[in-house]
Amino acid sequence: MANITFCGTSGGNTGLPRCDAKMNTPTGVIFVPRDASISEADADDLIATIQSRIKDDSSLLRWYPVIGIEQITDSSEEPVTGNLAATGYSEKLRDGAAIYLFEYPARVCKAKVLKQFDQWDGGAYVITGDKKLWGRVMQDNSLAPYLPSSVAVYGGGFNDGQNIITSKLQINFGAQGAFIERSGFFGFEEEDDIDSIVGLQTANILSSGTLKYKAVTKCDRQNLYDLYGSTLAATTLWKVTKASDGSSVTVTAVTGNASTKDYSLTFTAPSEKYFVSLAAVSVLEAAGIVGYEFDRLTVNP
């Protein structure tokens, strides 16, 4: 009996659903941990899910949105082919990379925020203008982030008087084939406000005298006394800890000073190095102080 060999192909079925989505124009990127995921249940209220993860008390689990992309350049590579000059034979060797350049109008604080993600080694979701969140579809129908091969941030600086200066975010999403094969999305509700997806602002605590402290935003140095006044004058919101062992020092009173726009704390100052900080993001939010995480102040007696 003759041996019959069937040569298979890498093709597949070509039928399409009635609603075949396109990958629309990106308007923002959300940087997330590599193992982040959105389940189908999470997607029932997608914007609430994202906003809750933006405010996670742990910086290692937190999500970091950067919305406001105004220009996109597709810098993707062509497939790499090889050729044999003697016969003219050629074949595809590998996919080119899917590379996109996202540009944001250059602003000082925006540029500083973006620069934090230069050479980012975590994951990233992409938001498009038609209110979709794009990532990688997993076997359980959850949406995992893209895992970029590289992330580069550059640009910004002084305007030359002739061109709009932009901060540039270049993301290499890896091989084109795998990028397209795995891409999928969850949709936002029509009434969802994408502009409400904003990250936390970093703020600092500054010493303004003996056991007196100011709370100011890191980039534009806005004094938060102007916004929150006596709301921040609560012992539950201030923390003093020893550097040596992390033990807490009890804060017995906090007084807001309207004339100097700072806060006087009452505690027994350690004779060793210690830290002054404000409470976790969730505690601050419960007190009505929304959208900030504070770096701690190091005090060396």
111-140, pLDDT tens digit by residue?
Answer: 999 999 999 999 999 999 999 999 999 999
Distance of CA 87 to the CA centre of its chain: 51
In the chain, DSSP finds a helix count (H) and a strand count (E) of 5, 21
pLDDT of 1 over the 50 cut: no
pLDDT at residue 12, rounded to an integer: 73
pLDDT of 279 over the 90 cut: yes
* Contact indicator for 276, 297 with CB cutoff of 8 Å: yes
**CA pair distance 219, 241, nearest whole angstrom:** 26
pLDDT in tens, 193-239: 999 999 999 999 999 999 999 999 999 999 999 999 999 999 999 99
Choose between 301 and 198: higher pLDDT.
Answer: 198
**CA pair distance 54, 197, nearest whole angstrom:** 8
Structure tokens at 57: 């008390």
- How many beta carbons lie within 10 A of that of residue 157, not counting itself? 11
pLDDT at residue 22, rounded to an integer: 85
pLDDT in tens, 44-99: 999 999 999 999 999 999 999 999 999 999 999 998 889 998 888 888 888 999 99
pLDDT at residue 63, rounded to an integer: 98
Q: What angle do CA 119, 120, 121 make, to 5 degrees?
A: 110
Q: For 8-17, 195-204, 213-222, 281-290, which range has the lowest pLDDT when averaged over its residues? A: 8-17
135: Cβ contacts below 8 Å, ≥ 6 apart? 38, 123, 125, 126, 143, 144, 145, 146, 183, 184, 185
Q: Which amino acid is at 13?
A: N
pLDDT at residue 145, rounded to an integer: 98
Q: Kind and range of the H or E element at 211?
A: none
pLDDT in tens, 160-182: 899 899 999 999 999 999 999 99
Any idea where the domains of the chain sit in the sequence?
Answer: 26-80+92-196, 201-299
Listing DSSP states for 128-189 in one string gives ETTTEEEEEE-TTS-EEPB--SEEEEEE-S---SSS--EEEEEEEEEEHHHHHHHEEEEEPP
238: Cβ contacts below 8 Å, ≥ 6 apart? 251, 254, 263, 265, 276, 277, 278, 279
**CA pair distance 232, 145, nearest whole angstrom:** 37
pLDDT at residue 2, rounded to an integer: 52
At residue 15 the predicted structure's pLDDT band, cuts being 50, 70 and 90, is confident
pLDDT of 18 over the 70 cut: no
**CA pair distance 273, 264, nearest whole angstrom:** 19
Nearest alpha-carbon partner for 255 in 229, 276, 274 = 229
Nearest alpha-carbon partner for 242 in 277, 210, 216, 292 = 277
State how far the alpha carbon of 199 is from the alpha carbons of 65, 251, 255, 281, 300, in Å. 6, 30, 29, 12, 32
pLDDT at residue 10, rounded to an integer: 60
Write down the architecture of domain 201-299 according to CATH: Sandwich (2.60)
